Structure 1
Amino acid sequence: MACSPLKTALSALFLVGWPLGAQAAEPATYTLAVVPQFDLRRIEAVWRPIVDHLQSATGARFTLVTETTIPVFEKGLHGGAYDFAYMNPYHYVVVHQRQGYKPLVRDVEDKLSGIVVVRKDSGLTDARMLDGRKVAFPAPNAMGAALIPRAEFSRKLGIRITEVYVKSHGSAYLNVMMGQADAAGGIRATFDQQKPELRDGLAVIYETEQYTPHPLAAHPRVPAEMAEKVQQAMIALGTTPMGDALLDGIPIKTIGIARDSDYDALRNLGLEAFYVEQ
């Protein structure tokens, strides 16, 4: 007895499988870049568990991007290369205007400020004493470590310095300890992470004004639903001791929702005069 056309078609489906369009779709993949203010090994150690958490919470895949220097990271930001990015506050001001990045979360307790350090045995006790001297910075647009200090040196203290850019916060501190620079710009978080033999040989002689800290932001091409999932997954980390420990490594003391208006004060500082295009 001959098989009916329907029975033949069904048999073929069972033999070769359903059409490709009927298979479960692959999860979307997004890039997440982190400003390299810390050693890349530290960034990997801190952010890898967070990325794993985001994958579990959202069902998407995330590729952690760790650029070698802040200027390389900035080029990616300016070009909209990253779907999600943890960036300094003035980076956000710039790329919100250029690319439309939207802030998701930030530290809602601590503020960001810059520090200036010297060797303890240098005899330098006041930032005004740096007039005409060499100051090491990680990169021109590292906000707390370079951008704000450079602006305040010029506008607030009325001093001129010789700027030296050495790629990382750690290298800036080391340049001072080795006598290759008279001072270095940094932030408390990176200074506190230095080895005791380096940190204990340096003294903080200046601290800048305080500002809203780094946001994690999403590029507008990311679907709004996914951006919200990432936002809620990050906030959920702050509800458990284990999650708090992960956030502390970023460092974020108390995580909360970030809004574009949180960065309006920075927009009014005129920092574009000190921002260096990479």
Structure 2
Amino acid sequence: MSQRIGMGQRLMGFCAAAVLLAAPAVAADYTFAVEPIYPPEKATEVYRPLVDYLAKATGERFTLVTPKNYHFYWRDMRQNQKVDFSLDEAHLADYRIARFKYLPLVRTAENQSYTLVTNVDLQDRGLEALVGTKIVCMGAPSLGYALLLGFYPNPIQQPDIESSAASWRDAVEAVFAGEAQAAMIPTWLKDQYPNLTPVKTSREFAGAAISASATVPEDVRSKVTQALLKLDQDPSLSNLLLELGTSKFVPANVTDYTGSETMLKDFYGYQ
């Protein structure tokens, strides 16, 4: 009797193992964080098509992470709060790469710069004419904010930097509404407003990067990369590319970003 019971238990074990082997694999759930250039609700609207596209193209699951603002984003990044994928401009991408071994997969094809714009007659006085006036920008440590600080290195000749804009487009609207004399915005966005006068344009950086944590399996990183390189072929995602100010994604390399993190040196918590 005990021999028959033992054989039965082994048979049940073999059956259970067969069921486990036959069961379909459950896709992992990967987090995808985006730099807070929009409020969370708007960010969800803008980037949801991206994570949906990746899920369809790769067979994996992605959870969109939309930080409240740059303060929280920078805090979480410094503390290495784990995210599997992230979309960051050059200085933050380099910080992840240098400090936490993130791997850049793709970047926006066009390089990124920022331009200080106004609709006020500065009478050819340039930057000096805006000392003491209100300039609207996204919060620190956005790349635009860091570059704007670099325009005014003299601590006693500073503009009044207002970092309350909810998006770069909101910064433009503040100028048109007379709430500020100038705005610091991406140069690609400046080109959409020919009635604004450029005061100064920054140097260029590599385009925003989509990076992956080294903990993401190589095959998943490869699938995501290939999907992103083909993203511009999907007409339904043209609005996403427009919001990112790019025509497509191209392969990214670590050397594209090396040294960009020094733009963060004047912000709290940088070491």
Q: Which residue of 2 aligns with 1:257?
A: 251
Shift of 1:25: 3.5
Contact 2:39–2:69 (Cα < 8 Å) also in 1: no
Contact 1:85–1:216 (Cα < 8 Å) also in 2: yes
Distance 2:147 2:132 in 1: 18
Q: 1:80 to 1:133 in 2, by over 3 A?
A: same
Q: Which residue of 2 aligns with 1:83?
A: 84
Deviations 1:138-196 (A, max 9, x none): 112211x21112113328xx952232221533443344344443322111455578xxx
1:238 equivalent to 2:232? Answer: yes
Shift of 1:98: 2.0
Deviations 1:225-258 (A, max 9, x none): 2112111111122345455564344333132110
Distance 1:276 1:189 in 2: 29
Distance 1:272 1:52 in 2: 32
Q: Which residue of 2 aligns with 1:93?
A: 94
Taking the TM superposition and a 5 Å limit, the aligned residue runs for 1:1-278 are: 18=16, 21-22=20-21, 23-81=23-81, 82-108=83-109, 110-118=110-118, 120=119, 122-124=120-122, 126-143=126-143, 145-154=144-153, 159-168=157-166, 169-190=168-189, 202-242=196-236, 246-264=240-258, 266=260, 270-277=262-269
Distance 1:224 1:152 in 2: 41
Contact 1:30–1:62 (Cα < 8 Å) also in 2: yes
Contact 1:130–1:159 (Cα < 8 Å) also in 2: no
Q: 1:264 to 1:9 in 2, by over 3 A?
A: closer
Deviates more, 1:255-264 or 1:245-254: 245-254
Distance 1:11 1:219 in 2: 42
Distance 1:224 1:99 in 2: 17
Percent identity at matched positions? 23
Q: 1:250 to 1:133 in 2, by over 3 A?
A: closer
Letter of the 1:222 partner, please give it.
Answer: V
Contact 2:136–2:171 (Cα < 8 Å) also in 1: yes
Q: 1:113 to 1:18 in 2, by over 3 A?
A: same
Letter of the 2:162 partner, please give it.
Answer: V
Query: TM-score scaled by structure 2?
Result: 0.80
Deviations 1:54-94 (A, max 9, x none): 11222211001112212222223333331101011101122
Unaligned runs of at least 5 residues, structure 1: 194-198
Contact 1:37–1:190 (Cα < 8 Å) also in 2: no
Contact 2:94–2:259 (Cα < 8 Å) also in 1: no
Query: TM-score scaled by structure 1?
Result: 0.78
Aligned-CA RMSD value: 3.3
Shift of 1:272: 3.9
Give the SS at the match of 1:154: coil
Q: In the comparison of the two structures, how many residue pairs are matched? A: 261
Distance 2:268 2:183 in 1: 18
Letter of the 2:16 partner, please give it.
Answer: W
Shift of 1:112: 0.7
Shift of 1:21: 4.5
